[in-house]
Structure 1
């Protein structure tokens, strides 16, 4: 799930308010929930990108770590 712009705007709005005047307990809770959701989405997206990587040395030989190759095989992304 990608981070939607509305949620990102709210995170920024709460950050500005926290610096300017402080947050209510409800806003502090909301900010933490939004941050947690953002980090979850970020980690998921980053993991997906890493799992899709193939690494090659300067001679053109594939040197993708075996752990990544195994994950790619499980997901049907590799034939070898």
Structure 2
């Protein structure tokens, strides 16, 4: 998870970008922070997917093979 300070800075730069505009240095900082945020989000989402088990109405495990393989570390879901 990204720190509260970094998220606050992302929001500050976004607000300033909409109102007064950003300097080149600020735009580069915003780009790096956003990339870090997206990377963190994807890793978190991937971890959440790996904890999913799909069960049908009969109680049988119908988790897609691709997800099962990814849980085992045999490829599967990529980002």
Q: TM-score, normalised by structure 1?
A: 0.85
Inter-partner Cα distance in structure 2 for 1:73 and 1:26? 43
Structure 1: gaps (5+ residues): 75-80
Structure 2: gaps (5+ residues): 74-79
What are the superposed Cα offsets for residues 1-28 of structure 1, whole Å, 9 maximum, x if unpaired?
Answer: x111110000000011011100000000
Partner of 2:4: 5
Partner of 1:42: 41
Inter-partner Cα distance in structure 2 for 1:36 and 1:72? 25
Q: How many residues align?
A: 74
Instruction: Quote how far apart the aligned CAs of 1:72 are.
Output: 2.2
Pairwise CA RMSD = 1.4
Equivalent residues in 2 for 1:1-80, closer than 5 Å: 2-74=1-73
Which SS does the other structure have where 1:56 is aligned? coil
